[in-house]
Amino acid sequence: MSLSAAEDDSSSSEIHLPAEIDWHMLDKSKFFFLGAALFSGVSAALYPMVVLKTRQQVSSAKYSCLNMSCAIMRYEGFRGFYKGFGTSLMGTIPARALYMAALEATKSNVGTGLMELGFSDTTATAMSNAAAGVTSAMAAQLVWTPIDVVSQRLMVQGCSSSNGGSNNSMLRNLNSENYRNGIDAFRKILCADGARGFYRGFGISILTYAPSNAVWWTSYSMVHRVIWSAFGSYMCDNNCNHFRPDSRAMLGVQGLSAVLASGVSAIVTMPLDTIKTRLQVLDADDNGRRRPLTFGQTIRNLVKEGGLLACYRGLAPRWASMSMSATTMITTYEFLKRLSTKSQEKFT
């Protein structure tokens, strides 16, 4: 499905966008190899935002991003913003590979199938993007959930000292185990909770990321089309025919679409993401023994701490992280697809 076919009215013929690259056009080995390198760099740039979001979500008190950042820098130094990054990076390559494969295969196959059933291009694109968001999230979570459990525990180590030692106000239920590194955390979680310990919050992760991805990809495709449609109408009003946008215009529209889609997705799924993070990181105290929090206990704690507003702690860094990640992801992703196109399939 080509972006140039986004609209049915006459304005669509005025803007000539590069045709969309489908799954069958890609050199898969180049796609996965270059993707691993490019997205590892993106993850490194955005990781501090993830640390801030995670610490705000598990905190039993409200702390601003600025206060949290200053506390981390004061008590833990710059390295505090990259706790657990090595573990997270190890999971990025296989998780991204699963994500991209499921995303592209679903978009291509579902979109083609819907078009053959008689759906319009706009409807088929929206539905195929939603389906692709769900399947890619479910595939990636098979790898990401264990990585999240380990890396998030490493992220929140030192939270209490970062808050001047006020354990009670910061993280009452934080797992008290100290981890030297990702391997040590893996071993201790396995000994304490067994293999199931790595999939704490798996169900809620699926409930969080599947709709989040569906909402994001659907919102992105629709916003993208609306912007180009509006731009096409503007060009028609100014009697400018056969406009071919340059790379800067393409990047600008992709970036704006990604930011708006991230805002919608972050607001809709933030409560589930907060519950998921707490289930994966916090423990309950049962007569001196630590055991995983239940879904019900997590909900009750959030209600006590402020109700729905408590579920939105960390929204600002999550939105910022999602926006920056999505903007770099979508522009890198489109660039990657064009780099990975089979030589005989290349076109503009």
Domain boundaries, the chain: 87-149+175-195, 200-340
Residue 347 has pLDDT above 80, yes or no: no
The full DSSP string for 71-94 is HHHHHH-GGGGGTTHHHHHHHHHH
Mean pLDDT value of segment 256-285: 84
pLDDT at residue 200, as a whole number: 84
pLDDT category of residue 203 using cuts at 50, 70 and 90: confident
pLDDT at residue 124, as a whole number: 86
Residue type, 69: S
pLDDT at residue 4, as a whole number: 44
The structure tokens listed for 310 are 């408590």
pLDDT category of residue 163 using cuts at 50, 70 and 90: low
Residue 60 has pLDDT above 80, yes or no: no
Report the candidate in 60, 53, 20, 19 with the shortest Cα–Cα distance to residue 300: 60
pLDDT at residue 82, as a whole number: 92
| Residue 76 neighbours by CB under 8 Å, 6+ apart | 83, 158, 161, 162
Comparing 40-44, 52-56, 180-184, 287-291, the range with the smallest average pLDDT is: 287-291
Give the chain's end-to-end CA distance (angstroms, integer): 14
pLDDT category of residue 180 using cuts at 50, 70 and 90: confident
pLDDT at residue 135, as a whole number: 92
| Residue 151 neighbours by CB under 8 Å, 6+ apart | 84, 85, 87, 88, 91, 182
Between these two residues, 266 and 239, which has the higher pLDDT value? 266
Mean pLDDT value of segment 203-230: 84
Residue type, 3: L
pLDDT at residue 16, as a whole number: 59
Residue 98 has pLDDT above 80, yes or no: yes
Residue 270 has pLDDT above 50, yes or no: yes
**pLDDT averaged over every residue in the chain:** 78
| Residue 336 neighbours by CB under 8 Å, 6+ apart | 31, 34, 35, 38
Contacts 24+ apart (CB under 8 A), 46-50: 46/321, 46/324, 46/325, 46/328, 47/81, 47/82, 47/85, 47/88, 48/81, 48/82, 49/317, 49/318, 49/320, 49/321, 49/324, 50/88, 50/155, 50/321
Mean pLDDT value of segment 205-226: 84
Residue 26 has pLDDT above 80, yes or no: no
Where are the strands (E) in the chain, listed by range? 283-286, 289-292
pLDDT at residue 160, as a whole number: 56
Rounded Cα distance, 121 and 114, in Å: 9
| Highest mean pLDDT: which range of 33-42, 135-144, 225-234 | 135-144
CA atoms within 13 A on the CB side of 210: 13
